[in-house]
Structure 1
């Protein structure tokens, strides 16, 4: 498999975690978002959205991190990151989507750049915007998961919600968002980050030496 990846992309980080948890051998091809490599014709031919990640399975090219992870969970079912029970599966998807659908898309680099291009937002304004949506989403996620057994959001093993949480808290720390209001999330992130397969996907472990 070939993962088209940017080291600091939250969505790509999720897929790296899933691949590592499942022990799936893969090659990483860097797509440098800061150099607009995602808009190069050869990459857009693979992913018409011009986003990362994309995963070449050898028989298909898949896009969108949660769709890729769903494919991996179906094709490589152990360890599972989504429950088979329909209600439990819906709850886990809802938790993951708080991050993947409600926080991440409006905090993405292209949105931040558009805030500057269209509205003249400076760096301080961009960071205020970024923190606002993190705080709103993580406050909801804390309430949704506060009564779940630990140590992970998935209980005894990390699940899709944990896979989304770890990159999001990495970003929260990058932007100096205080985490004290979310003890359940912080505890789950700590447990997940101690798992070697998850730790190996961390941006600091995969970034190019010049980055």
Structure 2
């Protein structure tokens, strides 16, 4: 049994992000499933961990961390290799911007059109205008992160996947399950980035079992 415990179920994109980073850095951990789809984060046991009823939560080194950004940045400081950010200041700034863009604009947009296709009951039915708007925002996000990565193979700014890649990747995995996936992948540079990330052993190993 590990002293590090991750709370959250594998279907959560943010939980998968943390699992990717833990795995890449070789940090052993135990996982306690907290299923968002069945309302478990709103139950008292989990609200004691995260009063806003969110996942992931990570218990590590005698402290509790809530929110993916805080967790990943702590893990990167604690276990510097392999790095989740480039060392160069300019590349780091662009990688940080990609993380902020994905969190602020990408998550809602991609989950918005994914839910239209895969979870309509959770979003109150199918609103095609909202789907189109979300897909448009997702394409704008894709253009920005590809532009920011420049000549680097990955949107995290390096030759190997970084935080930004492990943040967007789980969202893209759901997007590609829908008929809108090709429209997002048609943004210049997105398909080649997705192919590289899909071939990453860590990303592949953390794919959720949705069966």
Interval containing the TM-score (normalised by the shorter chain): 0.7 to 0.9
Structure 2 match to 1:141: 145
Task: Give 1:94-173 correspondences, 5 Å limit.
Answer: 94-105=97-108, 121-125=124-128, 127-128=131-132, 130-145=134-149, 147-150=150-153, 152-153=154-155, 154-173=157-176
> Deviation of residue 129 (structure 1)?
5.1
Matches within 5 A, 1:8-87: 8-87=11-90
Aligned to 1:191: 196
Q: Verify: 1:176 aligned to 2:205, yes or no.
A: no
| Cα deviation code 1:55-109 (max 9, x no counterpart) | 1114111111121100000001110111234332221011122212212146558
| Structure 2 CA distance for partners of 1:84 and 1:142, relative to 1, 3 Å | closer
Question: Of 65, 88, 92, which aligns to 1:89?
Answer: 92
Q: Which moved more, 1:11-20 or 1:122-131?
A: 122-131
Q: Is the 8 A contact 1:131 1:172 kept in 2?
A: no
Partner of 1:203: 208
Q: Where does the alignment leave 5 or more consecutive residues of structure 1 unmatched?
A: none
Shift of 1:19: 0.7
When residues 129 and 59 of structure 1 are mapped into structure 2, their CA distance, relative to the original with a 3 A threshold, is: farther
Using the size of structure 2 for normalisation, the TM-score is 0.81
- For structure 2, the 5+ residue unaligned runs are none
RMSD: 2.6
Matched residues in 2 for 1:41 and 1:136: separation? 39
